[in-house]
Amino acid sequence: MGEEVWIAFLLTLMAGLATGIGSLIAFFTSTTNTKFLSWALGFSAGVMIFISFVEIFPKALEALTNGSGVETGKWLTVLSFFCGMLLIAIIDRFVPNEKNPHEVKKVEDMNRSLREVHKQQPDLLKMGTFTALAIAIHNFPEGIATFASALHDPTLGIAIAIAVAIHNIPEGIAVSVPVYFATGSRKKAFKLSFLSGLAEPLGAVVAFLFLMPYLNEMMFGFIFAAVAGIMVFISLDELLPAAREYDEGHSTIYGVVFGMAIMAVSIILFM
């Protein structure tokens, strides 16, 4: 495998394992820094939205118009964009609301007495397990998106991997809190959180095995347009609502604007 493939794999692995960081935060801090989480989630959304519309969508449009003509290319780009949205929306529809991986959790939830939730332990374990499964399902297409983007443009891949990693951190908390509560074991909670993040690099492996032989300009165009749709949907449906739940003051919007500004500067300087 070439160096660019290894870089794409490493970036995808880094993004996926950020769920473990969320788990560690839950174990080794006593309170949730809600202001920082709100800002960080807003930052991630800002990066994803800006890069989707300013960098990824135009790249997809260029690739598809080069391969199929201007008019056809425009329609294929728009169709692929909304197919990406539809894919992630369908995944969300199959995840029950009460098991949604983006349900806001706080570290403080770890500090409730075990006696207080003794009767809830089976439900909590089930909730934590389903949350981990839901996160794994969500992370799979994100892994494909990160891998394909990094393979085509490593600089773009780094930006996407960082944004995905940030939004995976609270997901790690969402898995760890109920599992720890149900079992009393930090090790089991961390393990389940860690494993849920491995769906990201698994998506990269699937992309490598099944998409690599077909990765021509047209295929990159389809993938990039779908990636843009996936990231915009995640930002609007998951990141920003979660950020508002954690929000203190205007932390979310400050994070969004700063994320967009960072991406704008990086595009000017590096892309």
d(CA 271, CA 257): 20
Instruction: Give me the percent of the chain exceeding a pLDDT of 70.
Output: 83
pLDDT of residue 120 exceeding 80: no
Which amino acids are annotated as binding site for Zn(2+), given as ranges? Answer: 142, 167, 171
Annotated binding site for Fe(2+): 139, 142, 168, 171, 200
Largest CA distance in the chain: 66
Give residue 81's pLDDT: 97
Range in 11-15, 118-122, 229-233 with the lowest mean pLDDT: 118-122
Please list, in sequence order, all residues whose beta carbon lies within 8 angstroms of the beta carbon of residue 258, skipping any fewer than 6 positions away.
39, 43, 46
Q: Which pLDDT does position 30 carry in this prediction?
A: 53
Band (pLDDT 50/70/90 cuts) for residue 123 is low
What pTM, to 2 d.p., does this model score? 0.73
Q: Which residue ranges are tagged as binding site?
A: 139, 142, 167-168, 171, 200
* Angle (CA) 104 133 256, round 5°: 40
- Mean pLDDT for 195-202 is 88
Q: For the chain, where are the alpha helices, taking DSSP H only?
A: 3-16, 18-28, 34-51, 57-68, 70-93, 121-152, 154-183, 186-197, 199-206, 217-234, 240-246, 251-270
Residue 68: pLDDT above 50? yes
CA gap 245, 104 in Å, rounded:
7
Domains of the chain by residue range? 3-27+34-110+119-270
Most confident of 32-41, 71-80, 238-247, 250-259: 71-80
User: Given a cut of 50, is residue 115 above it in pLDDT?
Assistant: no
Contact by Cβ (8 Å): 231, 145: yes
